């Protein structure tokens, strides 16, 4: 990952300092707190007479911040040299208080200050070196940090510190902060570099580390500087994205999974269930604005690491809520998305992060705890680049809310454990729908599904629908009714079967349309196995095909394999039918229709050589415990294979491989 300097964004934080009488440009400054500008002290002295200037005009470098100049009072400055014409003594700093004569004075952005030496080599600045004619428009500059001089200045080389650049912010990409103020040049005509005053001189708790420097900082400058620095820090934290925009990180978004990016459904093509998946957002998101505001406010809190959770049944809208929260935070400059299973070096990313774990009960607890521990370290999570973790889970039968991730809590420690213990529920994200909300969602879903599948010219019918059952308090159940209505034609009437079963019928018709010469029950079995156990690669796929007695013909096996490979989007060779409720309903039907209730098939799946497939099957079967038609069969399969599964787990632990 490489941090860049966006000169356009840095310019938004910089000002040009002019004489009040308009006779010339004095130099550069930058916003350090609301209504305050930091510059070099010699900028606010008259070049000819050497007299101090009590007032100057300040003009934002970026007209988008403000076009009108305002007067500024010189509130405090360091002392000038004893003999005129020499270099100014340390620290050569001045603070200017802006007069509230323009609207932008109350809303301008501020820089982030760090009282440490530059880290690495290249530093960047933006200021107002002179042009041949007229008022200089401002220009970027870069330097290489050499070290600290005996009197405390930061010595720079390999850049031109031309007059007019004095007072410019010196930005260190590695520190992601302004670390100095450009004060002097080593040669105004060449790239010999110059000097900068460290902003540590204004931070009272850090000045003592400067050799011989503290004596040059007056008490009033240090006192005022400390107060202003604190105000500036608060201002930056209130709008972190403005400063992070100055220092973009290439490739940051690739560190999280964002399946909703560029996700779209082509009308009449593919599988209709795609329209029900939350990442495609076919139906507008309704009713949860207050809950999204709660998450947005949580993200802006000062804690370095904080955790929230949503523990609710399938179909309650957890994943869609998390996606909408990620979309909102991404628009505010956060890196937001699903936390990859491997962690992906997110701990090295110096940006605010909103990370969603979906589902937490299906993660390796030790691996997830290790990822969260890495994220919790001070060098990863900070006030400027906080980490927010949103845990999504489906409670198993008999499990109290918030206890699904007890295995994670059991292996966590330190800051991670503290964050988990302090985790807050987010119940308003999955509050049951009221009767008016159910009908509004049905209407919105009917129109969205119909126009997405049939084309924008499709006109929604006006069916009569009863949404009074308790299960309709979950958005997915309402949307399944709308889905069935949109795909059934203008004379649709709901029947007595659950809407998830009717949705499966629409899905299965597309399977048969693609492979019309194969038995529909065979196709259902294939999709059920892909959903139950999954197949990451060719080996796992062919192992599942071996479980199907009717697939002995090599050509038919190849056709089925290719069909399943392209059936649903995802990272694996075969990806599951989703939403999960739809896939689980299919598995339940397939198991129930087996001669022995699916017991033999479950034994075969739990005996698969791939640990990953067995783990996935176990996770799915735990969720299937709510399906009364298969709960006894699943329990019997667990009991019959308990000894084998335990032996596999112990063998995995003794080999040092990660386990669950």
Show Cβ contacts of residue 423 under 8 Å, excluding neighbours closer than 6 positions: 307, 308, 309, 391, 402
Q: Is residue 469 part of a domain?
A: no
- Same-domain check for residues 303 and 167: no
Chain CA centroid to CA 562, Å = 34
- Same-domain check for residues 308 and 394: yes
Provide the pLDDT for residue 207. 42
Among residues 516, 550, 513, 544, the alpha carbon closest in space to that of 531 is found at 544
- Same-domain check for residues 351 and 226: no
Provide the pLDDT for residue 419. 96
Structure tokens at 220: 């009033």
Q: Any idea what the CATH number is for the domain that residue 101 is in?
A: 2.40.10.120
Total structural domains within the chain: 3
Domain finish residue from 176, 206, 239: 239
Structure tokens at 657: 């491989």
Q: Is residue 183 part of a domain?
A: yes
Alpha helices in 176-280 (DSSP H): 219-238, 240-244
Q: What is the pLDDT of residues 219-250, one digit of tens each?
A: 889 889 999 999 999 999 999 999 999 999 99
Provide the pLDDT for residue 655. 59
- Same-domain check for residues 343 and 215: no
Q: Is residue 271 part of a domain?
A: no
- Same-domain check for residues 231 and 303: no
From residue 635, alpha-carbon distances to 588, 589, 602, 628 in Å are: 14, 17, 10, 11
From residue 36, alpha-carbon distances to 46, 108, 361, 404, 445 in Å are: 21, 10, 50, 50, 52
Cβ density class 249-277: b for 16+ within 10 Å, e for less = beebeebbbbbbeebebeeeebbbbbbbb
Q: What is the pLDDT of residues 436-451, one digit of tens each?
A: 999 999 999 999 999 9
- Same-domain check for residues 223 and 89: yes
Q: Is residue 126 part of a domain?
A: yes
- Same-domain check for residues 219 and 293: no
Based on its alpha-carbon atoms, the radius of gyration of the chain, rounded to whole angstroms, reads: 32
The range of the structural domain enclosing residue 378 comes to 288-430
Q: Is residue 490 part of a domain?
A: no
- CA atoms of 178 and 110, how far apart (whole Å): 10
Are 641 and 603 in contact by the 8 Å Cβ rule? The answer is: yes
- Same-domain check for residues 305 and 401: yes
Cα-Cα-Cα-Cα torsion 578, 580, 584, 590, nearest 10 degrees, comes to 10
- Same-domain check for residues 60 and 162: yes
Domain finish residue from 404, 430, 456: 430
- CA atoms of 107 and 65, how far apart (whole Å): 8
Show Cβ contacts of residue 446 under 8 Å, excluding neighbours closer than 6 positions: 460, 461, 463, 482, 485, 486
Q: Is residue 212 part of a domain?
A: yes
- Same-domain check for residues 17 and 163: yes
- Same-domain check for residues 310 and 232: no
Q: Any idea what the CATH number is for the domain that residue 400 is in?
A: 3.40.50.300
Q: Is residue 560 part of a domain?
A: yes
Provide the pLDDT for residue 206. 46
Provide the pLDDT for residue 187. 80
HSE-CB at 524 with a 13 A cutoff on CA atoms is 22
- Same-domain check for residues 568 and 637: yes
- The stretches in the chain having pLDDT less than 70 are 84-86, 204-215, 397-402, 653-660
Q: Is residue 261 part of a domain?
A: no
Domain finish residue from 385, 412, 430: 430
Are 178 and 202 in contact by the 8 Å Cβ rule? The answer is: no
Residues facing residue 162 across a β-bridge = none
Show Cβ contacts of residue 66 under 8 Å, excluding neighbours closer than 6 positions: 59, 60, 102, 103, 104, 105, 108
């Amino acid at each position: 990952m490489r941090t860049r300097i966006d000169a356009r964004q840095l310019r938004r934080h910089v000002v040009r300092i002019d004489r009040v009488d308009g006779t010339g440009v004095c130099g550069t400054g930058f916003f350090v707190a609301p209504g305050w500008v930091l510059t070099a002290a010699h900028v606010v002295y008259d070049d000819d007479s050497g007299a101090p200037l009590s007032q100057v005009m300040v003009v934002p470098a970026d007209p988008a911040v403000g076009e009108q100049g305002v007067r500024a009072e010189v509130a405090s400055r360091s002392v000038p040299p004893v003999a005129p014409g020499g270099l100014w003594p340390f620290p050569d700093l001045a603070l200017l208080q802006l007069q509230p004569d323009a609207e932008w004075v109350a809303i301008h952005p501020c820089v982030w200050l760090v009282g440490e030496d530059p880290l690495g080599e290249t530093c960047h600045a933006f200021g107002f070196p002179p042009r041949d004619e007229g008022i200089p428009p401002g220009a970027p500059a870069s330097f290489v940090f050499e070290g600290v001089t005996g009197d405390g200045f930061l010595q720079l080389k390999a850049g031109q510190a031309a007059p007019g650049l004095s007072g410019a912010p010196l930005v260190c990409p590695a520190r992601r902060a302004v670390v100095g103020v450009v004060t002097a040049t080593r040669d105004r005509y060449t790239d010999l570099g110059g000097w900068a005053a460290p902003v540590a001189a204004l931070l009272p708790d850090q000045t003592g580390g400067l050799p011989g420097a503290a004596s040059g900082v007056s008490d009033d400058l240090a006192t005022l500087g400390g107060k202003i620095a604190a105000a500036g820090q608060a201002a930056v934290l209130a709008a972190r994205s403005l400063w992070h925009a100055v220092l973009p990180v290439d490739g940051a978004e690739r560190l999280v999974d964002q399946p909703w990016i560029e996700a779209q459904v082509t009308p009449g093509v593919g599988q209709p269930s795609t329209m029900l998946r939350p990442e495609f957002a076919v139906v507008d998101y309704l009713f949860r604005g207050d809950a999204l505001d709660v998450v947005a406010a949580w993200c802006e809190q000062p804690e370095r690491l904080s955790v929230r959770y949503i523990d609710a049944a399938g179909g309650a809208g957890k994943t869609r809520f998390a996606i909408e929260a990620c979309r909102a935070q991404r628009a505010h400059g956060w890196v937001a998305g699903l936390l990859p299973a491997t962690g992906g070096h997110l701990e090295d990313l110096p940006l605010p992060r909103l990370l969603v774990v979906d589902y937490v009960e299906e993660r390796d607890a030790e691996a997830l705890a290790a990822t969260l521990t890495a994220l919790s370290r001070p060098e990863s999570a900070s006030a400027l680049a906080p980490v927010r973790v949103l845990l999504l889970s489906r409670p198993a039968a008999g499990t109290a809310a918030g206890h699904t991730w007890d295995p994670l809590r059991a292996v966590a420690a330190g800051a991670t454990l503290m964050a988990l213990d302090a985790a807050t529920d987010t119940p308003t994200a999955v509050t049951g729908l009221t009767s008016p909300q159910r009908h509004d969602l049905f209407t919105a879903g009917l129109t969205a599904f119909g126009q997405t599948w049939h084309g924008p010219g499709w006109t929604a019918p006006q069916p009569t629908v009863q949404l009074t059952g308790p299960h309709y308090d979950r958005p997915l159940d309402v949307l399944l009714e709308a889905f069935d209505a949109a795909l059934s034609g203008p004379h649709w009437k709901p029947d007595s079967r659950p809407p998830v079963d009717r949705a499966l019928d629409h899905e299965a018709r597309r399977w048969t349309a693609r492979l019309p010469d194969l038995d529909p029950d065979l196709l259902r079995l294939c999709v059920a196995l892909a959903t139950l156990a999954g197949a990451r690669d060719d080996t796992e796929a062919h192992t599942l095909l071996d479980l199907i007695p009717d697939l002995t013909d090599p050509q038919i096996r190849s056709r089925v394999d290719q069909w399943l490979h392209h059936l649903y989007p995802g990272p694996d060779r075969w990806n599951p039918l989703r939403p999960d409720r739809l896939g689980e309903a299919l598995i339940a039907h397939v198991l129930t229709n087996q001669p022995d209730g699916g017991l033999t098939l479950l034994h075969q799946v739990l005996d698969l050589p791939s640990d990953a497939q067995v783990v996935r099957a176990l996770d799915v079967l735990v969720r299937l415990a709510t399906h009364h038609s298969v709960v006894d069969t699943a329990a019997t399969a667990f009991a019959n294979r308990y000894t084998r599964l335990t032996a596999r787990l112990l063998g995995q632990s003794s080999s040092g491989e990660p386990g669950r």
